[in-house]
């Protein structure tokens, strides 16, 4: 009868199976977590290789580099204020003049007035407008470079996070698939025991429910992995293939939180970009105010005219004139733009404080995350070992009727959860180490010593700074 306790000689022999979850073991879980469960370590793609690819080919980073190159052109534009402006002009036309004077009769004069000229304007003194504009454009270039470094940090951090997410989700998927196999075997054994009356139908239903739940978790894990693979493709620029172990970079981090804060608050590229933004805004005040002051210049003009007044006449004129322009009143526009520029400068100064607070919070948060991940790994390792021991004991006790099927299922689920927690904690430690380096402002291709050509933003600046003419970019476009 169902539910009765059978004696040893009455029990039907049940095929014992090797617990793949137990055989999987702690070391196997760790290896799977960092190797992604893919093949051939000798052919594996490393974290550094993925980051190098992202550094070279990420569209967000390349777009920011293009933005820096565009900002470089502000400098020659500002320097043009020191240089002469030369214009040429030409005209040609026809005129007919009919004249009827008393005593002289009627006369008709037909002319083809035409001519050409060249005018040169040279700025002598513009109340410091050009000088301030040049300084402002240089501050904008430095700010753009700092923004580029911050973008580089974000891209590398996203790539590292995507890399570890793929490893984590692959390991969790393997754990869940293994759990499904174990529960299917558990369900088969429970059904066999039900046939001989060792357990009730409730035990079978519990095993079926837990097997279905595990299948659902495996489907969800597979979906999460597909999402992580898509993010990896977006951030790195290639499909993940045989990912090698990802390891923390704690050797590159400051030794303490106060030291990390010191480095971050003085050298983070986001803060440096904000400071250059303040410089540019304050110089914009001077550029705008210069419109209220006199401008001194020199104008040279050479003209050649034909048929100006008489048919066949030929006149050439040349002049050099000093000019002085003094603004008197322009309707209040310049005054308003000056006040506006001052308010913008005040806004930029406030944004520096905001950026410092943001960096401080990011450093503390990332540092805390790293410390928590280390502690979680230790706790998760102990949890896995304890769960493995507990599961083995519960199974043995269930064989002699001291434990129910539900007890075995719960112990199995606790082991799977513990192993998933360990995988997640390992992933969190690696990502947190990159997050700390990014929060400090030191995450870069040079710091990580990536095998990629380092982008030098100064090269384009040096190429275009002194150009006087030409529409072709240094790369030939």
Torsion, Cα 268 269 270 271, to 10 degrees, reads 60
Helix (H, G, I), strand (E, B) or coil at 440: helix
pLDDT digit string, tens, across residues 173-216: 998 888 888 888 878 887 887 888 877 888 788 888 888 988 89
The verdict on residue 12 lying in a domain is yes
The verdict on residue 321 lying in a domain is no
Range of the domain at 62: 8-86+127-298+332-464
Q: Where are the alpha helices (DSSP H) in 196-268?
A: 201-236, 257-267
Q: What is the per-residue pLDDT for 191? A: 86
199's enclosing H/E stretch is none
The verdict on residue 287 lying in a domain is yes
In sequence order, the β-bridge partners of residue 96 are 110
Q: What is the per-residue pLDDT for 105? A: 66
The verdict on residue 25 lying in a domain is yes
The verdict on residue 74 lying in a domain is yes
The verdict on residue 304 lying in a domain is no
> What single string gives the DSSP state of each residue in 125-178?
E-TTHHHHHHHHHHHHHHHHHHHHHHHHHHHHHHHHHHHHHHHHHHHHHHHHHH
477 residues of the chain, pLDDT tens digit each: 333 333 333 333 333 334 443 333 444 444 444 444 443 344 678 899 999 999 998 999 999 999 999 999 999 999 999 999 999 999 998 888 777 777 666 777 778 888 999 999 999 988 889 999 999 999 999 999 999 999 999 999 999 999 999 999 998 899 888 888 888 887 888 788 788 887 788 878 888 888 898 889 889 989 999 999 999 999 998 888 888 888 899 899 999 999 999 999 999 999 999 999 999 999 999 999 999 999 999 999 999 988 777 777 788 889 999 999 999 988 899 999 999 999 999 999 999 999 999 999 999 999 999 999 999 888 888 888 888 888 888 788 777 777 777 777 778 788 888 888 898 899 999 999 999 999 999 999 999 998 888 898 898 888 888 888 887 778 767
Q: Give me 59's structure tokens.
A: 């569209």
Q: Where are the alpha helices (DSSP H) in 58-128?
A: 59-72, 74-79
The verdict on residue 93 lying in a domain is no
Q: Give me 405's structure tokens.
A: 């099927």
C-alpha pair distances (Å), 209 with each of 160, 184, 405, 462: 38, 11, 12, 69
Helix (H, G, I), strand (E, B) or coil at 296: strand
Q: What is the per-residue pLDDT for 29? A: 42
* Structural domains of the chain, count: 1
Q: What is the per-residue pLDDT for 16? A: 38
Contacts of 173 (CB under 8 A, 6+ apart): 37, 218, 221, 222, 224, 225
Contacts of 331 (CB under 8 A, 6+ apart): none
The verdict on residue 206 lying in a domain is yes
411's enclosing H/E stretch is helix 405-440
For the domain that residue 422 is a member of, what is the CATH number? 1.20.1600.10
For residue 153, give the nearest of 64, 240, 229, 237 by alpha carbon: 64
C-alpha pair distances (Å), 273 with each of 67, 134, 150, 360, 387: 14, 18, 9, 16, 51
Q: What is the per-residue pLDDT for 36? A: 40
pLDDT digit string, tens, across residues 244-260: 888 899 899 999 999 99
Residue 190 · residue 17 · CB < 8 Å: no
Contacts of 33 (CB under 8 A, 6+ apart): 167, 168, 171, 422, 423, 426, 427
For residue 457, give the nearest of 211, 170, 149 by alpha carbon: 149
């Amino acid at each position: 009868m169902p539910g009765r306790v059978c004696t040893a000689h009455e029990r039907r022999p049940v095929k014992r199976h090797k617990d793949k979850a137990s055989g999987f073991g702690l070391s196997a879980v760790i290896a799977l977590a960092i190797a992604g469960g893919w093949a051939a370590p000798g052919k594996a793609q490393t974290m550094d290789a993925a980051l190098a690819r992202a550094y070279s080919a990420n569209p967000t980073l390349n777009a920011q580099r293009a933005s820096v190159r565009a900002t470089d052109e502000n400098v020659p534009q500002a320097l043009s204020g020191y240089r002469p402006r030369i214009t040429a002009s030409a005209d040609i036309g026809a005129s007919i003049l009919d004249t009827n004077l008393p005593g002289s009769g009627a006369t008709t004069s037909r002319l083809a007035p035409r001519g050409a000229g060249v005018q040169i304007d040279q700025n002598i003194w513009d109340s410091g407008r050009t000088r301030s504009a040049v300084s402002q454009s240089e501050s904008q270039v430095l700010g753009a470079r700092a923004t580029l470094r911050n973008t580089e940090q974000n891209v590398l951090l996203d790539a590292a996070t995507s890399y570890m997410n793929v490893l984590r989700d692959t390991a969790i998927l393997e754990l869940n698939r293994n759990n499904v196999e174990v529960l299917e075997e558990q369900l088969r054994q429970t059904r066999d025991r039900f046939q001989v009356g060792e357990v009730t139908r409730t035990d079978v239903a519990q095993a079926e429910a837990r097997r279905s739940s595990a299948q659902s978790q495996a489907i969800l894990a597979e979906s999460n992995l597909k999402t992580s693979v898509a993010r990896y493709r977006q951030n790195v620029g290639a499909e993940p293939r045989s990912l090698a172990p990802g390891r923390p970079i704690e050797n590159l981090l400051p030794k303490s939180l106060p030291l990390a804060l010191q480095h971050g608050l003085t050298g983070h590229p986001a803060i440096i970009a904000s400071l250059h933004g303040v410089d540019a805004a304050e110089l914009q005040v001077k550029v705008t105010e210069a419109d209220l002051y006199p401008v001194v210049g020199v104008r040279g003009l050479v003209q050649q005219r034909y048929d100006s007044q008489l048919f066949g006449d030929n006149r050439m004129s040349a002049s050099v004139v000093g000019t002085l322009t003094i603004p008197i009143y322009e309707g209040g526009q310049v005054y308003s733009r000056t006040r506006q520029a001052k308010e913008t400068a005040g806004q930029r100064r406030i944004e520096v404080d905001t950026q410092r607070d943001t960096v401080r919070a990011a450093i503390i948060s990332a540092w805390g995350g790293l410390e928590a991940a280390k502690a979680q790994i230790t706790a998760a390792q102990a949890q896995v070992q304890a769960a493995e021991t507990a599961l083995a004991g519960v199974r043995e006790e269930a064989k002699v009727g001291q434990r129910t099927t539900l007890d075995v299922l719960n112990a199995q689920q606790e082991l799977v959860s513990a192993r998933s927690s360990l995988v997640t904690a390992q992933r969190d430690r690696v990502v947190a180490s990159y997050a700390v380096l990014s929060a400090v402002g030191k995450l870069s291709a040079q710091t990580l010593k990536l095998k990629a050509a380092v982008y030098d933003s100064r090269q384009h600046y040096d190429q275009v700074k002194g150009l006087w003419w030409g529409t072709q970019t240094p790369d030939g476009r």
